[in-house]
Amino acid sequence: QVHLVQSGAEVKKAGSSVKVSCKASGGSMDSGGSFSNFGVSWVRQAPGQGLEWMGGIIPLFSATNYAHNFQGRMTITADKETGIAHMELSSLRSEDTAIYFCARSEFERIFRGRTYEFYYYGMNVWGQGTTVVVS
Amino acid sequence: EIVMTQSPLYLPVTPGEPASISCKSNQSLQHGNGNDYLDWYLQKPGQSPQLLIYLGSYRASGVPDRFSGSGSGTDFTLRISRVEAEDVGVYYCMQALQTPTFGQGTKVDI
Protein backbone atom coordinates (compact mmCIF):
# COMPACT_ATOMS: atom_id res chain seq x y z
CA GLN A 1 0.00 0.00 0.00
CA VAL A 2 1.64 3.21 -1.18
CA HIS A 3 1.40 6.30 1.01
CA LEU A 4 2.48 9.86 0.41
CA VAL A 5 3.73 11.66 3.50
CA GLN A 6 4.08 15.42 3.34
CA SER A 7 6.10 17.80 5.44
CA GLY A 8 4.57 19.75 8.28
CA ALA A 9 2.64 22.99 8.46
CA GLU A 10 4.35 26.26 7.65
CA VAL A 11 3.79 29.88 8.62
CA LYS A 12 5.42 32.32 6.25
CA LYS A 13 5.73 36.05 5.78
CA ALA A 14 4.43 37.67 2.62
CA GLY A 15 7.18 37.87 0.01
CA SER A 16 9.04 34.81 1.27
CA SER A 17 9.13 31.26 -0.13
CA VAL A 18 7.90 27.90 1.09
CA LYS A 19 9.11 24.43 0.19
CA VAL A 20 6.90 21.41 0.80
CA SER A 21 8.12 17.83 0.51
CA CYS A 22 6.23 14.68 -0.40
CA LYS A 23 7.70 11.26 0.23
CA ALA A 24 6.39 8.00 -1.16
CA SER A 25 6.54 5.01 1.13
CA GLY A 26 5.32 1.46 1.00
CA GLY A 27 4.92 -0.82 -2.01
CA SER A 28 7.64 -2.13 -4.28
CA MET A 29 9.77 0.09 -6.45
CA ASP A 30 7.75 -1.00 -9.44
CA SER A 31 4.32 -0.55 -7.94
CA GLY A 32 4.89 2.88 -6.54
CA GLY A 33 7.41 2.85 -3.74
CA SER A 34 9.07 5.50 -5.82
CA PHE A 35 7.74 7.73 -8.56
CA SER A 36 9.47 5.83 -11.35
CA ASN A 37 6.36 5.09 -13.36
CA PHE A 38 4.06 7.88 -12.22
CA GLY A 39 3.70 11.60 -12.18
CA VAL A 40 3.38 13.81 -9.14
CA SER A 41 0.79 16.55 -9.11
CA TRP A 42 0.44 19.41 -6.66
CA VAL A 43 -3.06 20.61 -5.83
CA ARG A 44 -4.05 23.30 -3.37
CA GLN A 45 -7.23 24.20 -1.54
CA ALA A 46 -7.78 27.64 -0.05
CA PRO A 47 -9.90 27.82 3.10
CA GLY A 48 -13.48 26.85 2.30
CA GLN A 49 -12.72 26.70 -1.41
CA GLY A 50 -12.39 24.08 -4.13
CA LEU A 51 -9.38 22.32 -5.60
CA GLU A 52 -6.79 23.95 -7.84
CA TRP A 53 -4.18 22.03 -9.83
CA MET A 54 -0.89 23.88 -9.59
CA GLY A 55 1.58 21.80 -11.51
CA GLY A 56 3.17 18.42 -11.91
CA ILE A 57 6.31 16.49 -12.70
CA ILE A 58 7.05 13.28 -14.54
CA PRO A 59 10.31 12.13 -12.93
CA LEU A 60 10.94 9.46 -15.56
CA PHE A 61 11.26 12.14 -18.24
CA SER A 62 12.31 15.04 -16.00
CA ALA A 63 9.29 16.89 -17.37
CA THR A 64 7.49 19.61 -15.45
CA ASN A 65 4.23 21.38 -16.19
CA TYR A 66 2.86 24.41 -14.39
CA ALA A 67 -0.55 26.00 -14.40
CA HIS A 68 -0.47 29.50 -15.85
CA ASN A 69 -1.18 31.08 -12.46
CA PHE A 70 1.99 29.61 -10.99
CA GLN A 71 4.49 29.81 -13.83
CA GLY A 72 7.53 31.76 -12.79
CA ARG A 73 7.10 31.39 -9.05
CA MET A 74 6.66 27.66 -8.59
CA THR A 75 9.31 24.97 -8.91
CA ILE A 76 8.65 21.24 -8.69
CA THR A 77 11.43 18.71 -8.35
CA ALA A 78 11.45 14.97 -7.76
CA ASP A 79 13.93 12.17 -7.27
CA LYS A 80 12.54 8.99 -8.77
CA GLU A 81 15.01 6.83 -6.92
CA THR A 82 14.31 8.15 -3.43
CA GLY A 83 10.63 8.80 -4.05
CA ILE A 84 10.73 12.36 -2.71
CA ALA A 85 9.13 15.30 -4.49
CA HIS A 86 9.33 18.96 -3.58
CA MET A 87 7.20 21.97 -4.40
CA GLU A 88 8.58 25.45 -3.84
CA LEU A 89 6.40 28.53 -4.14
CA SER A 90 7.99 31.97 -4.00
CA SER A 91 6.79 35.55 -3.62
CA LEU A 92 4.12 34.38 -1.22
CA ARG A 93 1.02 36.48 -0.65
CA SER A 94 -1.93 36.12 1.67
CA GLU A 95 -3.95 34.48 -1.11
CA ASP A 96 -1.50 31.57 -1.05
CA THR A 97 -2.80 30.53 2.38
CA ALA A 98 -4.10 27.04 1.67
CA ILE A 99 -3.69 23.33 2.16
CA TYR A 100 -1.22 21.95 -0.37
CA PHE A 101 -1.59 18.34 -1.50
CA CYS A 102 0.74 16.15 -3.48
CA ALA A 103 -0.79 13.29 -5.42
CA ARG A 104 0.56 10.43 -7.47
CA SER A 105 -0.75 10.75 -11.01
CA GLU A 106 -1.11 8.47 -13.91
CA PHE A 107 0.24 10.09 -17.03
CA GLU A 108 0.35 9.72 -20.77
CA ARG A 109 3.16 10.91 -23.00
CA ILE A 110 1.94 11.65 -26.50
CA PHE A 111 4.03 12.93 -29.37
CA ARG A 112 2.35 15.85 -31.03
CA GLY A 113 3.84 18.07 -33.66
CA ARG A 114 7.47 18.36 -32.73
CA THR A 115 7.34 17.63 -29.05
CA TYR A 116 5.87 15.41 -26.42
CA GLU A 117 2.84 16.43 -24.43
CA PHE A 118 2.15 15.06 -20.98
CA TYR A 119 -1.32 14.42 -19.62
CA TYR A 120 -1.79 14.12 -15.86
CA TYR A 121 -4.87 12.24 -14.75
CA GLY A 122 -6.10 9.65 -12.29
CA MET A 123 -4.55 11.03 -9.10
CA ASN A 124 -4.90 7.80 -7.16
CA VAL A 125 -2.76 8.37 -4.06
CA TRP A 126 -2.82 11.61 -2.10
CA GLY A 127 -0.71 13.03 0.67
CA GLN A 128 -2.29 14.18 3.91
CA GLY A 129 -1.93 17.84 2.97
CA THR A 130 0.34 20.60 4.26
CA THR A 131 -1.16 23.79 5.65
CA VAL A 132 0.66 26.93 4.62
CA VAL A 133 -0.33 30.20 6.25
CA VAL A 134 0.97 33.44 4.79
CA SER A 135 0.74 36.49 7.02
CA GLU B 1 -8.44 27.36 -20.08
CA ILE B 2 -11.08 24.67 -20.04
CA VAL B 3 -13.92 25.61 -17.70
CA MET B 4 -15.75 22.85 -15.85
CA THR B 5 -19.30 23.41 -14.63
CA GLN B 6 -20.94 21.04 -12.18
CA SER B 7 -24.58 20.78 -11.24
CA PRO B 8 -26.15 20.76 -8.81
CA LEU B 9 -23.79 22.46 -6.36
CA TYR B 10 -25.70 20.97 -3.44
CA LEU B 11 -27.34 17.58 -3.51
CA PRO B 12 -29.35 16.27 -0.58
CA VAL B 13 -29.56 12.49 -0.77
CA THR B 14 -31.43 9.65 0.89
CA PRO B 15 -29.58 6.43 1.82
CA GLY B 16 -30.53 3.63 -0.51
CA GLU B 17 -31.66 6.00 -3.25
CA PRO B 18 -29.75 6.80 -6.45
CA ALA B 19 -28.00 10.12 -7.06
CA SER B 20 -26.26 11.76 -9.98
CA ILE B 21 -24.01 14.74 -10.63
CA SER B 22 -23.50 16.45 -13.96
CA CYS B 23 -20.24 17.92 -15.21
CA LYS B 24 -19.95 19.93 -18.40
CA SER B 25 -16.89 21.37 -20.09
CA ASN B 26 -16.70 24.31 -22.48
CA GLN B 27 -14.77 22.22 -24.98
CA SER B 28 -14.52 18.55 -25.80
CA LEU B 29 -12.37 16.45 -23.48
CA GLN B 30 -11.92 13.69 -26.02
CA HIS B 31 -8.41 13.25 -27.35
CA GLY B 32 -7.60 11.87 -30.77
CA ASN B 33 -6.64 8.62 -29.04
CA GLY B 34 -10.28 8.14 -28.06
CA ASN B 35 -9.82 8.79 -24.34
CA ASP B 36 -11.97 11.31 -22.51
CA TYR B 37 -9.73 13.02 -20.00
CA LEU B 38 -12.22 13.43 -17.19
CA ASP B 39 -11.80 12.32 -13.58
CA TRP B 40 -14.13 12.31 -10.59
CA TYR B 41 -12.91 12.83 -7.04
CA LEU B 42 -14.60 12.73 -3.65
CA GLN B 43 -13.34 14.76 -0.72
CA LYS B 44 -14.87 13.52 2.50
CA PRO B 45 -15.01 15.98 5.40
CA GLY B 46 -11.57 16.61 6.84
CA GLN B 47 -9.85 14.28 4.39
CA SER B 48 -7.71 14.46 1.27
CA PRO B 49 -9.53 13.93 -2.01
CA GLN B 50 -9.79 10.39 -3.35
CA LEU B 51 -10.07 9.22 -6.92
CA LEU B 52 -13.35 7.61 -7.92
CA ILE B 53 -13.37 7.55 -11.73
CA TYR B 54 -10.68 8.25 -14.33
CA LEU B 55 -10.82 8.67 -18.10
CA GLY B 56 -14.53 9.26 -17.89
CA SER B 57 -15.73 5.81 -16.94
CA TYR B 58 -12.99 3.70 -15.37
CA ARG B 59 -13.55 2.97 -11.71
CA ALA B 60 -10.43 3.39 -9.59
CA SER B 61 -9.09 0.51 -7.56
CA GLY B 62 -11.08 -0.13 -4.41
CA VAL B 63 -14.01 2.08 -5.40
CA PRO B 64 -17.38 0.41 -4.78
CA ASP B 65 -19.28 -0.57 -7.89
CA ARG B 66 -22.22 1.61 -6.89
CA PHE B 67 -20.18 4.48 -8.39
CA SER B 68 -20.15 4.80 -12.16
CA GLY B 69 -19.05 7.43 -14.63
CA SER B 70 -20.43 8.04 -18.08
CA GLY B 71 -20.40 10.56 -20.88
CA SER B 72 -18.12 11.77 -23.60
CA GLY B 73 -17.02 14.99 -25.23
CA THR B 74 -18.40 17.82 -23.11
CA ASP B 75 -21.08 16.13 -20.96
CA PHE B 76 -20.32 13.72 -18.14
CA THR B 77 -22.26 12.18 -15.28
CA LEU B 78 -21.31 10.52 -12.02
CA ARG B 79 -23.93 8.15 -10.71
CA ILE B 80 -24.31 6.51 -7.33
CA SER B 81 -26.73 3.60 -7.65
CA ARG B 82 -27.59 3.43 -3.95
CA VAL B 83 -26.25 6.15 -1.71
CA GLU B 84 -24.67 5.14 1.57
CA ALA B 85 -24.00 7.36 4.56
CA GLU B 86 -20.25 7.22 3.91
CA ASP B 87 -20.72 8.87 0.49
CA VAL B 88 -21.22 12.34 1.94
CA GLY B 89 -18.67 14.94 0.97
CA VAL B 90 -17.78 17.17 -1.94
CA TYR B 91 -17.51 15.65 -5.40
CA TYR B 92 -15.28 17.25 -8.03
CA CYS B 93 -14.85 16.58 -11.70
CA MET B 94 -11.50 17.43 -13.26
CA GLN B 95 -10.49 17.69 -16.87
CA ALA B 96 -7.01 16.52 -17.82
CA LEU B 97 -6.96 17.21 -21.55
CA GLN B 98 -5.18 20.50 -21.00
CA THR B 99 -3.70 21.96 -17.81
CA PRO B 100 -6.04 20.27 -15.33
CA THR B 101 -8.96 22.26 -13.99
CA PHE B 102 -11.63 21.24 -11.50
CA GLY B 103 -15.32 21.90 -11.34
CA GLN B 104 -16.69 23.98 -8.46
CA GLY B 105 -17.60 20.91 -6.46
CA THR B 106 -20.95 19.36 -5.51
CA LYS B 107 -21.67 18.98 -1.84
CA VAL B 108 -23.55 15.76 -1.14
CA ASP B 109 -25.27 15.49 2.20
CA ILE B 110 -27.87 13.31 3.84
d(CA A16, CA B63): 41
Decide if B21 contacts B77 (C-beta within 8 A): yes
Beta bridge partners of A76: A87
- For A9, other C-beta atoms within 10 Å of its C-beta total 12
Q: How far does A60 lie from chain B, in Å, by closest CA?
A: 19
- Give the confidence band of A28 by pLDDT, cuts at 50, 70, 90: very low
CB within 8 Å: A120 and B100: yes
User: What pLDDT was estimated at residue A51?
Assistant: 98
Residue B60 to residue A127, Cβ atoms within 8 A: no
Say yes or no: B44 contacts chain A, CB-CB below 8 A.
Answer: no
Q: Which of B48, B99, B104 sits opposite A126 (nearest CB)?
A: B48
pLDDT tens digits along A30-77: 455 567 788 999 999 999 999 999 999 998 888 999 999 999 999 999
β strands within chain B, DSSP E: 4-7, 10-12, 19-25, 38-43, 50-54, 58-59, 67-72, 75-80, 89-95, 101-102, 106-109
In chain B, the percentage of residues whose pLDDT exceeds 70 is 100
H helices present in chain B, as ranges: none
**pLDDT for res A113:** 83
pLDDT value, residue A27: 59
Q: Is A119 on the interface with B (CB under 8 A)?
A: yes
Residues of B (7-36) whose Cβ lies below 8 Å from A: 31, 33, 35
| High-pLDDT (> 70) share of chain A, % | 94
- Average pLDDT of the segment spanning A114-131: 94
A29 falls in which pLDDT band (50, 70, 90)?
very low
Q: Pick the closest to residue A126 from B39, B95, B107 (CA basis).
A: B39
Q: How far B96 CA sits from the closest chain A CA (Å)?
A: 6
The Cα B87–Cα B80 span in angstroms is 9
